[in-house]
């Protein structure tokens, strides 16, 4: 059983602990990394021994956070997990060290309460928003490093305050971090205005395949294996690409057909809400959410496109107002 704790409760636990291992989730993003470095620095300011680890390598774009936490070697006595909804998301490399987790700080509604103590706020746009409140409860003064780490999480998980999870509290927290010295313009440039050449080549190639169907209400694009190879792109570089077709004016459903292996396709669907993507993808054995879903298909590319287009078209006729 996990005990639910408040920010004050989490702060009491942390003040009583030392030689802490703070863990970010595998395949780390800006929120889990920002939360670890913000909390890590706050604890080091309190004189605690702290080490930050992640089962996977932390991407180089977050290098600016490393100066905030001194590297320290010691035998961990307690583990704190940040932004980790379930034990298996800790990842393989650290799973043995993280059998017992003292405290989990998280904003996922799906948190599995695997830690001895859990602080979850599903209304927070980012775990960093909660970590900022814990640091306040710890009585540590925010400095530029803590502020930059917290801001990294806020901006990452909200698409720079664009997504609907952004609340007035998120924006006020960002304002405070900016006042505490976070280099917001530089962080935004790193997070949102830097792309790899491979990603641009993939976008260019995929957009060239764009087709509009059903009077422009469906947009479909393909990402063949050949394009991935010629652009020298890895899977990571496809992140978010499936949202492109649905961003076109007037398009109600955007489809992306990605060739995973010859004759095997992954289909992603995004909608403006007027068509239920999850229901459409269920027709091909997939599923997801009303505005974002997916399924798989075996056959030729033309068969894959015809199958999904047929189902989407039918749904448009049935579901449109």
Question: Does the footprint of its own copies cover residue 17 (CB under 8 A)?
Answer: no
Return the residue matching tokens 């971090």: 177
Helix (H, G, I), strand (E, B) or coil at 106: strand
Question: Does the footprint of its own copies cover residue 204 (CB under 8 A)?
Answer: yes
Torsion of CA 171, 177, 181, 184, to 10 degrees: -50
Question: Does the footprint of its own copies cover residue 201 (CB under 8 A)?
Answer: yes
Question: Does the footprint of its own copies cover residue 166 (CB under 8 A)?
Answer: yes
Closest contact distance (angstroms) between CB of 208 and its own copies is: 5
Q: Of 206 and 307, which has the nearer Cβ to its own copies?
A: 206
As a whole number of angstroms, the distance between CA 321 and CA 153 comes to 39
Of 176, 127, 116, 183, whose CA–CA distance to 156 is shortest? 127
Site string for its own copies, 145-164 (x = CB under 8 A): ---------------xxxxx
Question: Does the footprint of its own copies cover residue 195 (CB under 8 A)?
Answer: yes
Closest contact distance (angstroms) between CB of 155 and its own copies is: 8
As a whole number of angstroms, the distance between CA 312 and CA 282 comes to 11
DSSP strand pairing (292-298 vs 287-288): antiparallel
Cα Rg, the chain, nearest whole Å: 22
As a whole number of angstroms, the distance between CA 178 and CA 180 comes to 5
Among the listed ranges 48-56, 96-104, 199-207, 309-317, the one in contact with its own copies (CB under 8 A) is: 199-207
Closest contact distance (angstroms) between CB of 201 and its own copies is: 7
Q: Of 72 and 196, which has the nearer Cβ to its own copies?
A: 196
Residue 310 CB neighbour total at 10 angstroms = 11
Positions in the binding site for its own copies (CB under 8 A): 160-164, 166-169, 171-172, 174-176, 178-179, 184-185, 188, 192-197, 200-201, 203-205, 207-208, 210, 212, 216, 219, 243-244, 247-249
């Amino acid at each position: 059983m996990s005990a639910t704790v408040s920010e004050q409760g989490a702060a009491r636990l942390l003040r009583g602990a030392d030689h802490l291992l703070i863990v970010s989730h595998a395949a780390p993003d800006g929120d889990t990394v920002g939360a670890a470095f913000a909390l890590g620095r706050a604890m080091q300011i309190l004189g605690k021994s702290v080490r930050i680890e992640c089962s996977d390598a932390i991407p180089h774009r977050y290098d600016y956070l490393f100066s905030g936490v001194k590297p320290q070697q010691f035998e961990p006595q307690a583990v704190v997990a940040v932004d980790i909804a379930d034990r298996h998301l800790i990842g393989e490399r650290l799973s043995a060290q993280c059998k017992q987790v003292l405290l989990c700080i998280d904003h996922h509604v799906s948190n599995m309460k695997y830690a001895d103590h859990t602080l979850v706020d599903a209304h927070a746009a980012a775990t960093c928003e909660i970590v900022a409140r814990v640091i306040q409860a710890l009585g540590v003064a925010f400095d530029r490093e803590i502020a930059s780490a917290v801001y990294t999480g806020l901006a990452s998980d909200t698409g720079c305050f664009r997504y609907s999870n952004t609340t007035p509290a998120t924006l006020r927290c960002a304002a405070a971090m900016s006042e505490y010295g976070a280099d917001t313009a530089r962080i935004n440039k790193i997070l949102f205005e830097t792309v790899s050449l491979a990603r641009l080549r993939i976008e260019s190639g995929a957009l060239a395949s764009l087709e509009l169907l059903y009077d422009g209400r469906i947009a479909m694009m393909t990402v063949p294996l050949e394009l991935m190879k010629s652009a020298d792109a890895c899977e990571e570089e496809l992140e978010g690409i499936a949202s492109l077709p649905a961003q076109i004016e007037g398009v109600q459903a955007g489809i992306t057909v990605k060739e995973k292996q010859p004759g095997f396709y992954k289909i992603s669907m995004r909608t403006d809400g007027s068509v239920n993507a999850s229901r459409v993808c269920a027709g091909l054995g997939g599923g997801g959410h009303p505005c974002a879903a997916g399924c798989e298909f075996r056959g030729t590319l033309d068969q894959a496109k015809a199958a999904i287009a047929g189902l989407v078209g039918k749904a448009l006729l049935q579901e449109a107002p």
